[in-house]
Amino acid sequence: DPDFIFVRPLTAAIDSSQQALGWPTGADRPQRVQKGLVVAQRWGIFANPTEAMSQWLPRIDVHYSNMTDTELFTWICSGSTTGPSGCTDVSEHEVGTFHAAGVPYLAHREDWEGWLADSWKDTTARFHEVFNGYIVEMYTWAFANIHRGQRELLVENLQICSPGYPEDWDAVDSSTLDPCTDPMDEVLGDPNL
């Protein structure tokens, strides 16, 4: 899966110089993963600012007979159809700007241990009850963050996903490595990759 071909080492340092939509520009934009900041690779999820996120569920064929779409989306995120959740009224614009994410997912250890890992796991389990399609874990990563009201800093220079999408291919294009010779020795021995 090319999503897991990273174009630079994964560290706490963030190169957010490329299109981090919705975030401040220049020196005010975060430069490191820190407590309260979740970082991921930008990936495509619908972004229609006039449509509630619950209206998106039927498009991926998610239905549950005894719940409205809004109740279902709130339940997937929180475990309750009526409990408080950032998922209840989130717009697709919010999702498209701050949650259209793919791997890698970067967060501070205290966020992983404090809420993120458990929320992602629980959301994934609930979503699997109503949907067994492709990329469940990517949807539920977004849902866990949306539920908490945690906007993600999405960057476009962590992984390879599509040559037609604006990504940082320079590190790959400039590499002189020959993956056919002995790829693990070359990759592990090259600190620039």
The CA R_g of the chain, rounded to the nearest whole Å, is 18
Q: Which band of pLDDT confidence, cut at 50, 70 and 90, is reported for residue 48?
A: very low
**Is residue 93 within a helix (H) or strand (E), and if so which, with residue range?**
helix 92-98
Cα 41 from Cα 101, distance rounded (Å): 6
> Mean pLDDT in the chain?
77
Give the residue, 162 or 16, on which the prediction is more confident: 16
Give the residue, 192 or 59, on which the prediction is more confident: 59
List pLDDT tens digits, range 87-142.
888 887 888 889 888 888 999 999 999 999 999 999 999 998 888 777 788 889 99
- Position 19 pLDDT exceeds 90: no
Q: Which band of pLDDT confidence, cut at 50, 70 and 90, is reported for residue 14?
A: confident
List pLDDT tens digits, range 156-178.
888 776 544 555 556 556 666 66
Among the residue ranges 7-16, 72-81, 172-181, the one predicted with the least confidence is 172-181
Residue 16 identity = S
Which residues have a Cβ under 8 Å from the Cβ of 7 and sit 6 or more positions away?
A: 157, 158, 159, 160, 167, 168, 169, 171, 172
Mean pLDDT of the region 174-190: 56
Cα 142 from Cα 47, distance rounded (Å): 13
User: In 54-166, which ranges are E strands?
Assistant: 101-106, 152-155
